[in-house]
Structure 1
């Protein structure tokens, strides 16, 4: 909140001049607003309604819009989005902005593999012809969703100049806020819908910043005024030290590390596994043993999830770097948490515990098809190749912050927002034990203690609620026979029930 004006200033005989100056400043702001938002050299928002997509038979049974919004200096950054209206009540249901993690993972990854209305028909797909089918557990059943390719360089988003690709946490958050303002100006009928800024994995770093910027903008009178009600974070990477150190704790709890090895590592490393003292020979020795143990255990575990009978028998895949290995906790890729799950390097398919195929291969084939890009109205020649997660971000993206806890703590003090944080209970990338630790550090009051929640009479996980004045935070674990990184990919039915109940202010 801006400080109150000094009485001595407003009591001065020249206060009329001050008011004139303020009026002139307001006029100047209005002129700049008109220049930036209403009369750009090119349309700020270009959009298309998509009625058909390659691989899907007939017309789409939902409203899909794709487009670009120009942001940044002279709109040199063009952010691509997919907007899908709620299949229930577009004018009443919440509006979600969804940011996939990475950083640099495409919105299509969330749309196809997590919370979107389409997925791949693996049984009927072959060669270069991926087929699509409806996801019965899409969050668009209960919400309007903007799937945004952000930061620039993600998915189909691009920059007109090389300088435009200089991106980091703070720049990306600022550009996303600009995107939201311009998108709302072009879609005024959604201004009254409850807005939730949402995302998973690495978005745990940027979403709280965006929410803070929106809050500040409302206080400063930025137009249009958004009806923000809160934020949603799934399997969120929030604090470098807490989240990455918790991998060792989680590995022990899951039986991957013996009690003796865990206790020795904990004592010798003094609880610091992410950036251990390399001169501490006892600590480094323990971490080396942890590394060897996990190479074997994780490799065995992932064999259960690898289907060796894909159409290319020379299966090439990468396993996650073992927990406890110094390079895993310290290396240049340690911040790219969405990339630390097994990534596609060849033709393979991953199978979850219910034998539902999740094959990232099809998304590469489908999204790089020129017919598909034409159907989506992707601008020709703007990207070299679509990637599910942009690998170049490992060396080019600027990690401005190492924790978003301070932003979240500030939101608990100054807002009346709602927050939903959920974790897959078998997520080894961002373990729930670290998420619980930083939530407890916010200093909130416990409203509802740890209790199970159910879907179809079965335990789907556990939840608890915190509050501070009118701010509330609901924390949920998604269990249901194991959910990894990220939860909706593994347990879509349970996650749809979770988000539907939370939006409706129902107890889980």
Structure 2
């Protein structure tokens, strides 16, 4: 049989990739299809694969969930989706935000809750690779004490290598358009991951990543800007009076985070501001207050956070309140479901590798090293990649005002000015597009993070943007 020059070249490339695979310890330890899940009636009507990929010579085992597009997996984009936190499980995004399944609301957590299909899943438009990342999140784990540590820069190296190894084991997706996506804390790190992948592409790393752009929801971006805009956000939402806002402006001249610790008046003003907001659900200011929300407050000490987690992340606490007394209590239903042996067996989780599954593992050693991702956005924009940045307009953790501020600091021309975008002839939010191919959108009535509150609107936003359509 005669082999063409093109065929011979492809064979050589595959041989080269195979050698790279072996030399870089890129071994898929475990990879299987999931056909049934406890709580779901019948076989799953979509393609789900789970598995582990070894990093750092196998010392780190990263667990993933891969959902093929329900539309056209051969041509649709592939999205690598990373959950914020850091160290929050990918299952948080799957069950509560953009995945094809979700848990029913239950009052009795003694039984396994029912699963049902999410009508507005993003997997109807794209294939999505969710990863428990880094080690310590979800079912991902470290084999050695040395590997029982991560940070922003180490994570960038690991996710870069993970994605290339995963694609080597799934070569049918090498030519699909590839995007990175995530929300919350991932706003600090995903731009770093993206530009590192681009640089490795330029250096000839294999396989070549067919990167097209990135998506960030409610993204923490700059430690100063994000928190500094909580004061004007609170005023704009009617949470503090004009007089208090004007007093804060006079005292801090817009620099609310530069509090002089020696100045008693400064400390008192900020304490009064914070005290006045006690009882406000900062993840979504329109919803009733829930004490589990306090886990998300920026700057809380590690020891104090752990004590609060131990207190609220308990089934006893959930029983006392009743499931879904407030939205965040629903996370505890996921904890109950994910720790069922039958669920972990169905997902092909390796036995006795992590102990109990928790949604966000704040006890793991992690170094927060990126104070601002704005410089990485600049580098990515200079290379012409697309981006979608969206904000729930009732999110006080990462206020949309701060997101708008750092986008303005990029100093790019506006090519589609501020306008409403619609779903079912109703205003779903407002949007603006810039010359650097960046689209910013607010999601009206959404909190942190937007798809959890407005799934239909966010699904339409994603579908239009990923297909290159105007919002």
Report if the CA contact (8 A) 1:273-1:329 is conserved.
no
Is 2:359 the partner of 1:388?
Answer: yes
Q: What secondary structure is seen at the aligned counterpart in 1 of 2:344?
A: helix
Match of 2:449 in 1: 486
Which structure 2 segments of 5+ residues have no match?
1-13
Displacement after TM superposition at 1:246 (Å): 1.0
Distance 2:26 2:395 in 1: 44
Displacement after TM superposition at 1:32 (Å): 10
Report if the CA contact (8 A) 2:183-2:216 is conserved.
yes
Matches within 5 A, 1:26-37: 37=21
Displacement after TM superposition at 1:41 (Å): 7.1
151-160 vs 260-269, which deviates more?
260-269
Q: TM-score, normalised by structure 1?
A: 0.83
Displacement after TM superposition at 1:60 (Å): 0.1
Higher relative contact order (CA 8 A, sep 6+): 2
Displacement after TM superposition at 1:106 (Å): 0.4
Is 2:29 the partner of 1:61?
Answer: no
Is 2:32 the partner of 1:48?
Answer: yes
Match of 1:460 in 2: 428
Report if the CA contact (8 A) 1:45-1:186 is conserved.
no
Instruction: Specify the structure having the higher radius of gyration (Cα).
Output: 1
Match of 2:176 in 1: 193
Match of 1:24 in 2: none
Report if the CA contact (8 A) 2:285-2:447 is conserved.
no
Displacement after TM superposition at 1:298 (Å): 5.0
Q: Identify which of 298, 312, 332 aligns with 1:361.
A: 332
Distance 1:230 1:448 in 2: 19
Q: Deviations over 1:133-173 (max 9, x none)?
A: 00011000000000110011000000100111210001011
Matches within 5 A, 1:399-418: 399-413=368-382, 415-418=383-386
Report if the CA contact (8 A) 2:389-2:439 is conserved.
yes
Q: What secondary structure is seen at the aligned counterpart in 2 of 1:295?
A: coil
Displacement after TM superposition at 1:371 (Å): 1.2
Match of 1:254 in 2: 237
Displacement after TM superposition at 1:272 (Å): 3.0
What is the root-mean-square deviation in Å for CA atoms of aligned residues? 2.7
Match of 2:442 in 1: 477
Match of 2:219 in 1: 236
Displacement after TM superposition at 1:438 (Å): 0.3
Displacement after TM superposition at 1:270 (Å): 3.6
Match of 1:70 in 2: 54
Match of 1:497 in 2: 460
Q: TM-score, normalised by structure 2?
A: 0.89
Displacement after TM superposition at 1:384 (Å): 1.4
Displacement after TM superposition at 1:283 (Å): 1.3
Distance 2:113 2:262 in 1: 52
Distance 1:448 1:343 in 2: 45
Report if the CA contact (8 A) 1:98-1:197 is conserved.
yes
Report if the CA contact (8 A) 2:218-2:392 is conserved.
yes
Match of 1:398 in 2: 367
Q: Identify which of 109, 113, 119 aligns with 1:136.
A: 119
Is 2:154 the partner of 1:171?
Answer: yes
Distance 2:361 2:275 in 1: 29
Could you list the structure 1 runs, at least 4 aligned residues long, displaced by more than 6 angstroms after superposition.
30-33, 39-42
Displacement after TM superposition at 1:317 (Å): 3.8
Report if the CA contact (8 A) 1:230-1:419 is conserved.
yes
Q: Deviations over 1:324-343 (max 9, x none)?
A: xxxx6644469x9xx99x97
Q: What secondary structure is seen at the aligned counterpart in 2 of 1:320?
A: helix
Distance 1:52 1:282 in 2: 60
Distance 1:255 1:126 in 2: 38
Match of 2:406 in 1: 438
Q: How many residues align?
A: 448
Is 2:263 the partner of 1:294?
Answer: no
Q: Deviations over 1:288-317 (max 9, x none)?
A: 211221115559x979537xxxxxxxxx94
Judging changes above 3 Å, is the alpha-carbon distance between structure 1 residues 382 and 265 closer, same or farther for their aligned structure 2 residues? Answer: same
Match of 1:325 in 2: none
